[in-house]
A and B are shown apart, each in its own frame.
Chain A
Amino acid sequence: MKLDRRAFVKLIAGGVGGTLLSPLPWKLADDTAIWTQNWFWRPSPERGGASTVNTVCQLCPGGCGISVRLINDRNAVNIDGNPTHPVNQGGICPLGAAGLQFLYGPSRIETPLQQTGKRGDLKTFKPISWDEALQILASQLQKMRQQTTGLVCVSGKSEGTVPELFSRFLQAYGSPNYLTMPAAADAQALGSLVSQGTSSPIGYDLENAKMVMSFGCSYIEGWTAPSRMMAAFGGWRSQTNRSRTRTVQVEARGSLSASKADEWVAVVPGTEAALALGLAQVIVSEGLYDRSFIGQHTHGFEEFRSLLRRDYTPEKVAGITQVDKSKIVALARDFARTKPAVALHGLGQGRMPGSVYDFLAVQSLNALVGSLHQAGGMSRKPQLPLAPWPEVVLDATSLRGKSAPRVDGAGGSQFPLSTQVFYNFVNKAKEGRVQPGVMLWVYEANPVHNLADAQSFTAALEKMETVVSFSSFMDETTQLADLVLPGPTYLERLEDVPTPPGLQYRVFGLSNPVLNPRFETRHPGDVLIQLAKSLGGSVAASFPWSDYEAALRERVKGLANVPSGRVADEPGIEPWNVGLGQNLEPNYGSFDELWEKLTEYGCWFDTSEPMPSWDSAFKTPTGKFEFFCQKMRQVGIEGSIVTYLPHYAPVEPAGDTNTYPLVLVPYESMAITNGPVANPPFMTKLLFDFQLKGNDSFVEINPETAGRAGLREGDRVELQTERGTVKVRVHLTQAARPGVVFIPTGLGHTAFDSFIKGKGVNANEILVVRQEQITGLATWWDTRVKISKI
């Protein structure tokens, strides 16, 4: 059967000349081709009956409805978007479409593992049974019961019943040290707290906005809920809708989000918020603001007005952002006159907290034009009416843990406002300034690869006594774990997927197992319940459920008890057209019916929560929206009056300009995933050869900058920052701002499979993290860098 095809073609080619006119050789060639090509090693997929199961994607927080096609109810062969799901409207993103490459991926973990040798040595991972694994963990936790605050959990998910069970476990056990991966949401929560009195996540009524101004958000490249954003964008560009929505992108890089916007405002990277204040100044000084809202429902407007007049005149802002004065004025007028207009916050995909003042600046723009808590504007993501679980049962130990200071200093005297200060934990642990004997749990996160300043987290890990991973995949963090308790993938497990980030209406997604778990995995929810039971006492009493499903059902009952809401059971549902505050007639009569429908369709939604009314919207000391944030003063944050107002508070990039003459800025895109999983082969294949070539990744620089450094397309260079050095190649493009080096995130994996491992460099290794003084929030948007040809 080993017939070389080219030799074969040559063989027949000799005879072709003379017999070209006769059909015989062609017929023969055709037949031979058919006979020789039924290669026996060619895989032939199993045939059988096809079925489709609806569930919800969990590869990012986007929460898209998906339909999985199965053969013989057992082999998943395709993932499509589910057209009944209102978030993604039948569409799907590339990561979601490649989901089966995770289910069947070669880096799946098949059983619990115990590290019997040196950390990081994959060969000394010993497969153990679940009984053994749980016993090891339980006995360690028993031993630690005198120093319970040594249990630290890092969760990659911030919402949903499973992260809630993790934080509940820590409470019951007696540790305040529950952390989620840093994100722009951290700054938004703090900013909302000080200006509005509640730290609820943000919701944007984008589908009803007429003008969308994005301050550095990669709004069609993975920001908030990616498929929702792309669906909204498709709507804005509708061929039939005459009054289309205009988009403005404020960004340093000529990304797709910038190129596809009606207007791209190129700024100095990191000055997006300064531009927002520049627009605010024009709007205020020209009297274009919403007088009734500002007059009746805000506090500190006069102080804000004087600050704007002093520091954010178009001249000054032009100096900071390098945007033309006239453009600032024009943009401001446009933004104030188009109704409704909304300004978006969260640089890139929103994975970096940034400064709380950046958020306050963008939010103030929404407040000025009257887009706060209005249709087509910025509001809160509505809460789900889930039934509460019983209170956590606390014993003396857990009560002590509850009031103990957090490992990251959040809520203490240095960071009184913050609920978490991730990098404080990292730095303290790295320097050995945390208590001995820390046990770290990592759930749905891969901090060793995904956190900016990746080395620091790795160094911090070294100081931990025990590292426990709940991952389904052998990722970088799991490689360094002592104990691995693998969970099933999202296609094999039951879990809730609460309202995706940035939505204005309620969504409750139910992820169903579409097939039986392929390996000896166990649901983290079940693991926690079993663990609690074996610890006994009040910990066990806090977990009264037989299993995770029972715990989940208990919460979902709340949905059946409210008079409004529907299971999305037909295509084309557009909740934003219903209008917020409108009740929906439920299409189920009881909880059982609701549950059954949820498992069939995967999504419940509701529009009954109205935008907050002015008398109840703001829980601040003044009961108003506070430009001047009293809360900051109340908790003891000291400073001049500017400290309490939205302002531009840049954290200087690290490194001196002589040694590091250029600025390094990370960029994120739909082509490379930045979540806990690494790029699947289907996606990596599609990277352009000016993004990845062989194992080399590329950074983008402007030809002019390249010329000065004597660089040509494709040259190999070394990038050096205060943090470290990586070797990459350069791609010359006019999309790059002169003087700036743009580096893609998500590459440079040292784990997972041979399809991604070793490809490109990890930008996080050279990004320098700086912390905001009053909040401890981290910024790594701009880092000084030196580029040298090698």
Chain B
Amino acid sequence: MSGNKANGIRYGMVIDVDKCTGCMACSVACQQENNVSFREDETNKLRSITWLEVYSLDNGKSYPEHRQAYLPRPCLHCDTPPYPPCTFVCPVNATQRDEETGLVNHIPVRCIGCRYCISACSYHARYFNWWDPKWPKPMEEMLTPDVSTRMRGVVEKCTMCVHRLQLAKEKAFIEGRRELHEGEYVPACVEACPAKAMTFGNLFDSHSEVAKLAKSPHAFRLLERLGTEPKVYYLSTQDWIRKLSDNVI
């Protein structure tokens, strides 16, 4: 059933927390790329939709030993065998893992809004549309046709910009290729990062940058002990950051 042990493609990401400047360009780029809606008051964070959420961490020490860091968190596209926790609980197959790529999708038009997946996700990576999204008049024009807008009553989350994979595949197909080159499919957040703190690619391709970084001695994943096998890795040389990654965020 689970294809996650087979050779092939496992798209994943490595985020270097030490390089990250906390600018949040990644998160803004994601909103623009994926038609994420916004409201006048977004300060109730339990109701706010941010596919790529940036968490604020600190080492808990007093001034001037205090240090802070920001940790960007997309959907981690867990490789949990046989299913990721969120897809396992979905009653209507609105969310599944594509075993060819390892990407965990979510199809809003199938979603019945039961929010089981939200409770199943240990990383708060899923969001619920409590309202119908509205764009003030002229702003509708900046919506991209590559990603459909969602509606009240459904869940949404980071798709790893799967539409970009689609576009890259189409391009390759037209050029008579079946395989993508490294760097042909890059999510919007990774592309935006001005510090180049994010790296994306096929974790199964040992020559890829992302696979090399994921094997770094400084690499870690969030809540490793849960066994969810996230495909998003983090890098940091700071012990306090690595320790925090095992706490519940």
Instruction: List chain A positions with a Cβ less than 8 A from chain B.
Output: 5-6, 9, 26, 29-30, 33-34, 37-39, 41-48, 69, 71, 75-81, 88-94, 96-98, 100-101, 103-106, 108, 220-221, 226-227, 230-231, 233-234, 237, 239, 254, 256, 259-260, 264, 266, 518, 670-671, 681-689, 692-695, 702, 733-738, 753-755
For the complex of A and B, the 9 pairs showing the least CB-CB separation, nearest first, are A91-B194, A5-B153, A266-B64, A234-B195, A734-B66, A45-B143, A230-B194, A77-B144, A220-B21
B91 beta carbon closer than 8 Å to chain A: yes
Q: Judging by beta carbons under 8 Å apart, are A45 and B144 in contact?
A: yes
Most buried by A among B16, B21, B145, B188: B21
Return chain B residues, CB-CB under 8 Å to A6. 113, 153
B175 at the interface (CB under 8 A from A): no
Closest to A96 in B: B25
For the complex formed, measure the closest distance between the CB of A726 and the CB atoms of chain B, giving whole angstroms. 18
**Contact A685:B143 (CB < 8 A) given known A30-B92, A92-B194:** no
Give 20 new A-B contacts, CB below 8 A, not counting A100-B142, A234-B19. Answer: A26-B92, A34-B109, A42-B133, A75-B141, A80-B188, A94-B24, A97-B29, A101-B139, A104-B139, A106-B139, A108-B138, A221-B23, A230-B23, A230-B195, A233-B21, A237-B16, A254-B63, A256-B69, A684-B42, A702-B63
Shortest Cβ distance from residue B43 to the other chain A in the assembled complex, whole angstroms: 5
Q: Shortest beta-carbon distance, A379 to chain B, in Å?
A: 24
Tell me the minimal C-beta distance from A98 to chain B in angstroms: 5
Q: Please pick, from B18, B113, B138, the residue contacting A237 in the complex, using a CB distance under 8 A.
A: B18
Q: Are B25 and A685 in contact (CB under 8 A)?
A: no
Q: Which of B134-189 contact A (CB under 8 A)?
A: 135-146, 148-154, 188
| Residues on the A chain within 8 Å of B50, using CB | 685-686
Nearest-neighbor residue (CB-CB) of A265 within chain B: B64
**B45 beta carbon closer than 8 Å to chain A:** yes
In the complex, chain A residues whose CB is within 8 Å of the CB of B139 = 101, 104-106
**Whole-angstrom distance between the Cβ of B67 and the nearest chain A Cβ:** 4
Q: Is B243 on the interface with A (CB-CB < 8 A)?
A: no
The answer to whether the Cβ of B247 comes within 8 Å of any Cβ in the partner chain is: no
Residue of B whose beta carbon sits closest to that of A266: B64
25 contacts between A and B (CB under 8 A): A5-B113, A6-B153, A33-B110, A34-B110, A43-B135, A77-B144, A78-B188, A92-B194, A101-B142, A104-B139, A227-B194, A233-B19, A237-B19, A239-B16, A259-B67, A266-B63, A266-B64, A681-B42, A685-B42, A686-B54, A689-B43, A689-B45, A737-B63, A737-B64, A755-B38
Residues on A with C-beta less than 8 A from B235 are: 239
Indicate if the CB atoms of A98 and B28 lie closer than 8 Å: yes
Complexed CA–CA distance, A765 and B54 (Å)? 30
How many A-B Cβ pairs are below 8 Å?
A: 238
Provide the bound-state CA to CA distance between A47 and B146, in Å: 8
Taking a contact as CB atoms under 8 Å apart, the answer to whether A260 and B28 are in contact is no
User: Could you say which residues of chain A place their CB within 8 Å of the CB of B16?
Assistant: 237, 239
Q: Judging by beta carbons under 8 Å apart, are B67 and A104 in contact?
A: no
Q: Given contacts A37-B108, A48-B145, are A29 and B92 in contact (CB under 8 A)?
A: yes
Of the candidates B25, B29, B31, B92, the one having the most CB atoms from chain A within 10 angstroms of its own CB is: B25
Kindly provide the distance from the CB of A90 to the nearest chain B CB, expressed in whole angstroms: 7
**Shortest Cβ distance from residue B145 to the other chain A in the assembled complex, whole angstroms:** 4
In the assembled complex, which residues on chain B have CB atoms less than 8 Å from the CB atom of A755?
38, 40
Residues of B within 8 A of A738 (CB): 63
Give the distance in Å from the alpha carbon of A38 to the alpha carbon of B152 in the complex.
11
Contact assessment for A45 and B35 in the assembled complex, using a CB-CB cutoff below 8 Å: yes
Expressed in whole angstroms, the Cα–Cα distance for A673 and B110 within the complex equals 39
**Contact residue among A37, A43, A105 (Cβ-Cβ distance under 8 Å from B109):** A37
Given the interface pairs A233-B195, A688-B56, the reply to whether A29 lies near B112 with Cβ below 8 Å is: yes
| Contact among A44, A91, A266 for B149, CB-based, below 8 A | A44
Residue of B nearest to A323 (CB): B64
CA distance A30 to B92 in the complex (A): 6
Q: Which residues of A contact B151 (CB under 8 A)?
A: 37, 39, 42
- Interchain CB contact under 8 A, A94 and B58: no
CA A670 to CA B23, docked complex, whole Å: 6
Q: Are B152 and A106 in contact (CB under 8 A)?
A: no
B28: which of A9, A37, A97, A734 is its contact (CB, 8 Å)?
Answer: A97
Q: How far is A685 from B52 in the complex, measured between Cα atoms in Å?
A: 12
Task: Report the bound CA distance from A726 to B27 in whole Å.
Answer: 31
> B195, A231: Cβ atoms under 8 Å?
yes
Query: Contacts A106-B139, A239-B16 given: A670-B68 contact, CB under 8 Å?
Result: no
Contact of A91 with B193 in the complex, beta carbons under 8 Å: yes
In contact, A239 and B216 (Cβ under 8 angstroms): yes
Residues in B with CB closer than 8 Å to A47 are 145
Which residue of B91, B133, B138, B145 contacts A71 across the interface (Cβ within 8 Å)? Answer: B145
Given A75-B142, A77-B143, A734-B66: A44 and B148 within 8 A (CB)?
Answer: yes
Q: Judging by beta carbons under 8 Å apart, are A254 and B68 in contact? A: yes
Residues on the A chain within 8 Å of B114, using CB: 9
A residues less than 8 Å from B22 (CB atoms)? 220, 256, 670
B93 within 8 A of A: yes
State whether the Cβ of B33 lies closer than 8 Å to any Cβ in chain A. yes
Instruction: Write out, one digit per residue, whether chain B residues 25-61 have a CB within 8 A of any chain A CB (1) or not (0).
Output: 1011101110100101111110010100010101001
Question: Do A45 and B68 touch across chains, with their CB atoms under 8 A apart?
Answer: no
Q: Which residue of B lies closest to A76 (CB)?
A: B142
Complex: how many Å from CA A72 to CA B111? Answer: 31
User: In the docked arrangement, what's the CA distance between A29 and B61, Å?
Assistant: 51
Q: Give the one of B43, B56, B64, B111 with max A CB within 10 A.
A: B64
Taking a contact as CB atoms under 8 Å apart, the answer to whether A78 and B108 are in contact is: no
**CB neighbours of B62 from chain A (8 A):** 734
The distance from the CB of A45 to the nearest CB of chain B, in whole angstroms, is: 4
A5 touches B152 (CB 8 A): yes
Report yes or no: B56 in contact with A694, Cβ–Cβ below 8 A: no
Known: A77-B145, A682-B31. A735 touches B63 (CB 8 A): yes
Set A92, A254, A683: member contacting B64, Cβ < 8 A: A254
* Chain B neighbourhood of A96, CB < 8 A: 25
